[in-house]
A and B are shown apart, each in its own frame.
Chain A
Amino acid sequence: MIRIENLHKTYRAADGREVEALADINLEIGSGEVFGIIGRSGAGKSTLIRTLNLLERPSAGRVLIDGEDITGLGSEGLYALRRRVGMIFQHFNLLNAKTVADNIDWPLKATGHTNAAERAARVKELLALVGLSEQGHKYPAQLSGGQKQRVGIARALANRPRLLLCDEATSALDPETTQSILRLLLDINRQLGLTIVLITHEMQVIRTICDRVAVIEGGRIVEAGKVADVFLHPQHPVTRSMVAQSDALAAASFDPAHAYMSDKLRGTLVRLTYLGDVTYQPILSRIMAGATVQVTILQGEVSSIKDVPFGQLLLELEGSEDDIRAVFAELDRHQIHHEVLQ
């Protein structure tokens, strides 16, 4: 659906220096996918998502949407493209002078839909979709943050886009509201087959709804792949540090050199990672039952990434080398990934 090729963006800062905001970005995003871009502030994620509807013009490279290079579009082509691509924002950006219903109606009315009855029916449908059927007559100032973002979503969907861009859409919301907005986005993704590209600095957002993720740092994509692969086996230091800050995935970035018990460890430190059905099976107990190895669980989590259950455990194994090797062979047999840390 989207292909980004050798994308660069440089701009001139106030002091005259050239600043490279994006450097050689290459990404491919599939139709119907929820794709996340995560990075710290200033990493270039906002610039990147804004090149997808040309709110930001790239300095070099191509952005293809459905095979069409949008960087070459004239103004008419650009209007048409933007009507096919919805966007929601961190601060919602609703029109304060218009009611909720008029906010949703506005993109329809302003892009040449002259049949008022049809528009009213569409607005009603959208209000129902985002769960605001009773709020149409209110003004944005009378709504909560979560409700405002729902209006933002309804407005973005008015022209039936196939792609939705989310620019830090949940960053101004509390955790509970964030979850409800993410659920709504996921529902829309499934019901309408809508492709979603989102940027965020919150791991939790990526874990909850994304299929794949790209990590951006200093204007470059430093790591990309399936969410489980990237977060459970982080390679780049930036990814590791992000994972480390998320309590839930601390085992993925465990650094024995810094751990307080490093001098107390006697055995072999092993990290196990497993995904899918195996998560809820008593495999560990089966493997250990036959072995003479002593096991201590030091850290771990059993949870899910999007709908995929996973487990990640940090174990200390004490026993003879042969016995430990036998345990590893059993782990391999059950497709449990293991990694010796020390």
Chain B
Amino acid sequence: MDLSVIDWSDIWIATWETLVMTGVSLFFTILLGLPLGILLFVTARRQLLEQGVVYAVLSFVVNVLRSVPFLILLIVMIPVTVILIGTSLGVEGAIPPLVVGTAPFFARLVENVLREVDRGVIEACQAMGIRTHRIIFGALLPEALPGLIAAVTVTAITLMSYAAMSGVIGGGGLGDLAIRFGYQRFQTEVMVITVALLVVLVQIIQYSGDRLVLYFTRK
């Protein structure tokens, strides 16, 4: 393997782009997915704000979005992305499909994490005469915090691998580099380096997430 053929500045730029795509998408994924997940949880059967129809509709939409393979979603989303931010290429162009692809996934994770919170605790809050929104924000979410952090960690890693995939439609970042140089120009060295960098990034995210979960666990 001849590392001298590698243009390191390209690699660092691509790494930075991957981090930006993952970070910005993660931000919007949480912004959309967390409320959606909370809504899924509270409207479900026998929960705080049971609403059968609302739950059924939300659940259906989430399932539909989750059943579209991400590669297809990337292509289907192109016109929408152009309308939203003017281009479907580069770092910016990759963010809308990434968010649409992972927000429903994150919402389901949130719903499951909230279901793990002891029912008795929520019931105790109800017995104290506390209003539902205060129970959600003051008791439910703090109780679920370690689980929510774990869900964010899983989602961040999923986003990173999706971000790499967006290189297929010209998304930018390490995936783009791997496809254009590593695959199309047969520069195996670039392929190896980009994959190695992705492995390192994933390890860092997982490790940090685990540490945070541990820090906030009180059980």
Measuring CB to CB, which residues of chain A are less than 8 angstroms from any residue of chain B?
53, 55, 78-83, 85, 87, 89, 91, 93-98, 106-107, 109-111, 139-141, 155, 159, 165
Bound: A95/B120 CA distance, A: 10
Stretch of B10-18, B36-44, B51-59, B129-137 lying at the A interface: B129-137
Interface string of B179-219 (1 = CB under 8 A from A): 00000000000000000000000000000000000001011
Contact A53 B142 (CB under 8 A): no
Contact B127 A82 (CB under 8 A): yes
Most chain A Cβ neighbours within 10 Å, of B123, B129, B142: B129
Q: A78-B129, A83-B129 are in contact. Are A93 and B118 (CB under 8 A)?
A: yes
Contact A82 B128 (CB under 8 A): yes
Additional A-B contacts beyond A82-B127, A89-B120, A109-B138 (14; CB < 8 A): A55-B123, A78-B129, A79-B129, A82-B129, A87-B128, A94-B124, A95-B121, A97-B142, A106-B125, A110-B131, A110-B138, A111-B128, A141-B219, A159-B129
Number of A-B contacts (CB under 8 A): 72
Q: A96-B218, A98-B142, A141-B218 are in contact. Are A83 and B124 (CB under 8 A)?
A: no
Q: For the complex, would chain A's binding face be called helix, strand, loop or mixed by DSSP majority?
A: mixed
- Say yes or no for B111: interface residue by CB 8 A criterion: no
Contact A93 B142 (CB under 8 A): no
Contacting residues, chain B, for A83 (C-beta < 8 A):
128-129
- Say yes or no for B47: interface residue by CB 8 A criterion: no
Which 7 pairs of residues, A with B, have the shortest CB-CB distance? A82-B129, A93-B124, A83-B129, A93-B120, A107-B128, A87-B127, A110-B130
Q: Closest CB-CB distance, B115 to chain A, in whole Å?
A: 16
Bound: A159/B139 CA distance, A: 18
Bound: A161/B1 CA distance, A: 77
Measuring CB to CB, which residues of chain B are less than 8 angstroms from any residue of chain A?
118, 120-121, 123-131, 134-135, 138-139, 142-143, 145, 216, 218-219
User: B127's closest neighbor in chain A, by CB?
Assistant: A87
Q: Closest CB-CB distance, A273 to chain B, in whole Å?
A: 40
Contact A97 B123 (CB under 8 A): no
Q: A79-B131, A106-B139 are in contact. Are A55 and B120 (CB under 8 A)?
A: no
Contact A55 B127 (CB under 8 A): yes
Bound: A139/B142 CA distance, A: 14
Contact B218 A106 (CB under 8 A): no
Q: List 11 A-B contacts (CB under 8 A).
A: A87-B128, A89-B120, A93-B118, A94-B124, A97-B142, A98-B142, A106-B139, A110-B130, A110-B138, A139-B218, A155-B128
Contact A110 B134 (CB under 8 A): yes
Contact B120 A110 (CB under 8 A): no
Q: For the complex, would chain B's binding face be called helix, strand, loop or mixed by DSSP majority?
A: helix
Q: Closest CB-CB distance, A196 to chain B, in whole Å?
A: 15
Q: A55-B123, A82-B126, A141-B218 are in contact. Are A95 and B131 (CB under 8 A)?
A: no
Contact of B138 among A55, A79, A80, A106 (CB under 8 A): A106
Q: Closest CB-CB distance, B167 to chain A, in whole Å?
A: 41
Bound: A85/B218 CA distance, A: 29
Bound: A139/B134 CA distance, A: 21
Contacting residues, chain B, for A165 (C-beta < 8 A):
127
Contacting residues, chain B, for A93 (C-beta < 8 A):
118, 120-121, 123-124
Bound: A165/B128 CA distance, A: 12
Bound: A132/B135 CA distance, A: 26
Contacting residues, chain A, for B143 (C-beta < 8 A):
95-97
Most chain A Cβ neighbours within 10 Å, of B130, B131, B138, B142: B130
Bound: A46/B59 CA distance, A: 33
Contact B129 A95 (CB under 8 A): no
Contacting residues, chain B, for A78 (C-beta < 8 A):
129
Bound: A107/B142 CA distance, A: 15
Bound: A278/B219 CA distance, A: 53
Bound: A130/B216 CA distance, A: 28
